[in-house]
Amino acid sequence: MSKNRSYAVFGLGRYGRALARELAANGAEVIAVDMDEEIVNSVAGEIPYCKCADVTDGEVIKRLGIANVDVVIITMATHLEASVMATMLCKEIGVPTVIAKCASEMNCRILKRIGADRVVLPESESGIRMAKNLLSSGFVDIIELSKDVSMIELDVRPEWEGKNLIELNLRKKYSINIVAVVEDGNVSANIDPEQSLRGSMKLIVMANPARLEKLR
């Protein structure tokens, strides 16, 4: 994911505001939405496109042009019903990636079941950190284990599809170590180097942060 993709942030509490502000500050196209007009007005100077709207209304979602957005981040963790409705509506209109912030592990399971592509517990990730992850081209998530080692989850690129890890030789080309493959929510650390990669897969790799630029 990168700043070249478009984003929508639903809910402008502290987390959502920090996320939307960081995305916008880095040049990403962002639609920020909240039901509280006072909140919307307070952030309008920092985020170019802010709207006061009810994201649990399907017609409102369509009018906002959310169907054309690449990533929607739903940050209304304390309002499960609203989060569920917004998630379902976004997936129904074809939003490729919906990320939902959760208030509990149970809420995470519910949101995953009804279509969220990724769920986040607030204590595990700040809005600014999520923005940096989204803006890191091609990376789904980055976890800094130390100053010399990061763990990255990245999409299988179109040019990698149909090829196996032996053919790609990613370790030599990018100086990364693949530690697991994720597909359909299943994580496998028992990697078959002769298995052809599919676009539905994600790779979990470990690398020196200084070398990540080669992947971008």
Tell me: do 88 and 106 sit in the same domain.
yes
Tell me: do 120 and 32 sit in the same domain.
yes
In a domain, 1, yes or no: no
Across 115-120, average pLDDT? 88
Output the pLDDT for position 1: 42
Across 71-99, average pLDDT? 92
Tell me: do 146 and 131 sit in the same domain.
no
Across 107-124, average pLDDT? 83
Output the pLDDT for position 75: 94
Sequence letter at residue 46: E
Across 7-31, average pLDDT? 92
DSSP string computed for 7-44: EEEE--SHHHHHHHHHHHHTT-EEEEEES-HHHHHHHT
Bridge partners of 139, per DSSP, are 154
Q: How confident is the model at residue 127 (pLDDT cuts 50, 70, 90)?
A: low
Tell me: do 21 and 82 sit in the same domain.
yes
Which of 116, 135, 154 is a domain's end point? 135
In a domain, 189, yes or no: yes
Tell me: do 107 and 180 sit in the same domain.
no
Tell me: do 127 and 155 sit in the same domain.
no
Tell whether the model's pLDDT for residue 13 goes beyond 60: yes
Tell me: do 122 and 165 sit in the same domain.
no
pTM for this one? 0.62
- Between CA 137 and CA 159 the distance in angstroms is 16
Tell me: do 19 and 123 sit in the same domain.
yes
Q: CATH code at 119?
A: 3.40.50.720
Tell me: do 24 and 110 sit in the same domain.
yes
Tell me: do 114 and 156 sit in the same domain.
no
Across 27-50, average pLDDT? 91
Which of 92, 112, 135 is a domain's end point? 135
The count of structural domains within the chain is 2
Tell whether the model's pLDDT for residue 208 goes beyond 70: yes
125 contacts: CB under 8 Å, gap ≥ 6: none
Q: Residue 130 corresponds to which tokens in the numbers above?
A: 């999520």
Residue 182 is part of which domain span? 139-215
- Between CA 188 and CA 165 the distance in angstroms is 15
Which of 104, 135, 166 is a domain's end point? 135
Tell me: do 185 and 211 sit in the same domain.
yes
Tell whether the model's pLDDT for residue 85 goes beyond 80: yes
Taking alpha carbons only, the member of 77, 79, 147 closest to residue 119 is: 77
Tell me: do 12 and 108 sit in the same domain.
yes
In a domain, 95, yes or no: yes
Q: CATH code at 207?
A: 3.30.70.1450
Q: How confident is the model at residue 206 (pLDDT cuts 50, 70, 90)?
A: confident
